[in-house]
Chain A
């Protein structure tokens, strides 16, 4: 058990050294991680841009939507005043999960014993 930990430590140290010295391998790995994280952030921004950002436009071209009521409350009030917040939180939650998974993949990749 102890030996196992030590071996992992040295391996992580070696990888870290490799990354820090900016060998071509290390550099390519970091670029890949940055690209993956950025793509994730952009994809989720797109979800918000369409899901929320589309609303003013939708209300503008389809005024009937604004007049629709649910339980006596107009739809725009419900969507903006209530539903938008759980939506934002859900997107945030998905981001944290996926970003951590990207980082885990990266860690696994650089810590693989034989590369």
Chain B
């Protein structure tokens, strides 16, 4: 706060993105322009662009926030976000590119020739896209609130407005270069400050992350509570706090334990153990399944694959993406860990997602370096919101304009963009209490329970039928959507129901696969007649195509 570099940095990132978006208006609007623009680009640039679009608010802000709050168990988020690209590489990348499908609904029609399935896939693309857009806007609102003190809705609506206008007018689609640039910006925005933070930590005498007497405040701190919570004070007193309450602590005061967060050093430091915590283990495996298998079903990820010239290039590009994304994911964990030392007040206020943005200022102080680094991080965060939301919005608007509104005229696409951007903007205003990464985790669970079985079985199993695919998506994906709706709208649950609903993938993914296989076998006669030709097209190496 009071940092004169932050606003210019955010404005600069936004202007560069919007500026090139407008420039793109003259360059490209159709799919074929997109292709022409992309063919000239090397796999490394293309991979950086895919990485730039993929690393969202959940990666940039959310992971560090979760690590701060929950500790080692949530390291599966970054591992899973990266491993998703491995699953994509192993099962989907080359055959999907060879299929020539541009979107998931396209793939359904190409492989199974079913209009009904295409419509169903369209509905899922829209749902997943919106579910994924909400936390991006949420992250934008949170960041703007944190760095400028503006009210939360302003930030969320502002970014929604900018991105919607940008996509409607120019589209980001042809702009591989911007997204590649945004990958490197995001990497730099976390990597450079982390060097200074590590040096500062050394200079402070390497304070312990989990001191034996529990965490303490390093400086006098006033905390404004954002979310209702129960605090356990060091003397054993229990205190209920509500949003708006102000708590004041002196330097050296111990940090009270907060309900819902792992304040106890061992909970935070050590993985969940057997016996006492079967539910923790189930949740971990569920998260692993959702993230490993969900990436391939995200609408904005698949669209990007079409920019590869052929199947072999798609494979190589995916490998580079995996490396770039893996490199990035080394960093957020460090912010979460250092946040434990320098910004423990976020555990009390409930704004753990703000740790990345606040840490440079908190650790390095208000000097010039601290302020410049804080501005760099804020700029990186905005690059994350803008690139991911633009990619998602383009994908969702694309399917709305072609599959819902009818043929895709430019007018239709603009109308679709406004619809596609408006709905998540409204939703973002109502879910500010959820962790950014958890909402994204739910989007992964839905994708893993619907599109993952559809793609994997569609590519590798001749026996898949349209009825089987539809049944699997409806049952598995429907169950996952139900779980999301209960999590977001329903009453608070406890015990096993809470775990099964909050991390549904471990039962919805097997359910989707089972239903899809069983129903396909029961309707064997409906298998497409041209399956041999389709398999040939999906799997034959380019060398034989000419």
Contact = CB atoms under 8 A, between A and B. Distances in A.
Nearest to A34: B539
A22 B540 CA distance: 13
A34 B72 contact: no
Contact of B533 (A20, A45, A93): A20
A56 B78 CA distance: 15
Contacts of B533: 20, 22
Contacts of B270: 59, 63, 66-67, 74, 76
A91 interface: yes
B90 A107 contact: no
For chain B, give the interface size range.
Answer: 35 or more
Contacts of A96: 89, 315-316, 319
Given A61-B274, A82-B330, A85-B326, A77 B316 contact: no
Interface in B479-520: none
Interface stretch (B50-58, B133-141, B280-288): B280-288
A106 B543 CA distance: 10
A107 B318 CA distance: 23
Contacts of A57: 281
B274 A19 contact: no
A88 to B, nearest CB: 5
A77 B541 contact: no
Contacts of B536: 19-20, 22, 26, 30
Nearest to B325: A85
Interface stretch (B28-36, B79-87, B256-264, B375-383): B79-87
B460 A34 contact: yes
A32 B285 CA distance: 34
B271 interface: yes
A113 interface: no
Given A45-B87, A92-B86, A63 B326 contact: no
A25 interface: no
Among B87, B318, B319, B539, the most chain A Cβ lie within 10 Å of the Cβ of B539
Contact of A52 (B79, B271, B330): B79
Contact of A76 (B271, B323, B532, B546): B271
A96 B86 CA distance: 11
B72 A80 contact: yes
A60 interface: yes
Interface in B64-91: 72, 75-76, 78-79, 82-83, 85-87, 89-91
B359 interface: no
Nearest to A91: B86
Most chain B beta carbons < 10 A, residue from A19, A89, A92, A100: A92
Interface string A21-38: 010001100110110011
Nearest to A74: B269
Nearest to A36: B539
Q: Is the interface of B mostly helix, strand, loop or mixed?
A: helix
A89 B323 CA distance: 6
A19 B536 CA distance: 8
B342 interface: no
Interface in B228-261: none
A46 to B, nearest CB: 11
Contacts of B411: none
Contacts of A13: 546
Contacts of B329: 85
B79 A80 contact: yes
A88 B75 CA distance: 15
Interface in B407-465: 460
A20 B545 CA distance: 10
Contact of B76 (A77, A80, A106): A80
A110 B288 contact: no
Given A63-B270, A77-B75, A81-B330, A92 B319 contact: yes
B322 A88 contact: yes
Contacts of A12: 543-544, 546
Nearest to B74: A80
A99 B524 CA distance: 30
Given A12-B546, A20-B536, A77-B72, A60 B86 contact: no
Interface of B: 72, 75-76, 78-79, 82-83, 85-87, 89-91, 94, 269-274, 277, 281, 284-285, 288, 312, 315-316, 318-319, 322-323, 326-327, 329-330, 333, 460, 532-533, 535-536, 539-541, 543-546
14 contacts: A34-B460, A41-B91, A56-B288, A60-B281, A66-B269, A66-B270, A74-B72, A76-B271, A81-B78, A93-B319, A104-B543, A107-B541, A107-B543, A107-B544
Given A37-B539, A77-B75, 5 more contacts: A16-B546, A56-B272, A85-B327, A92-B318, A107-B543
Interface of A: 9, 12-13, 15-16, 19-20, 22, 26-27, 30-31, 33-34, 37-38, 41, 44-45, 48, 52-53, 56-57, 59-61, 63, 66-67, 74, 76-77, 80-82, 84-86, 88-89, 91-93, 95-96, 99-100, 103-104, 106-107, 110-111
Closest 8 CB pairs of A and B: A85-B326, A103-B541, A59-B271, A80-B75, A60-B274, A41-B90, A66-B270, A81-B333
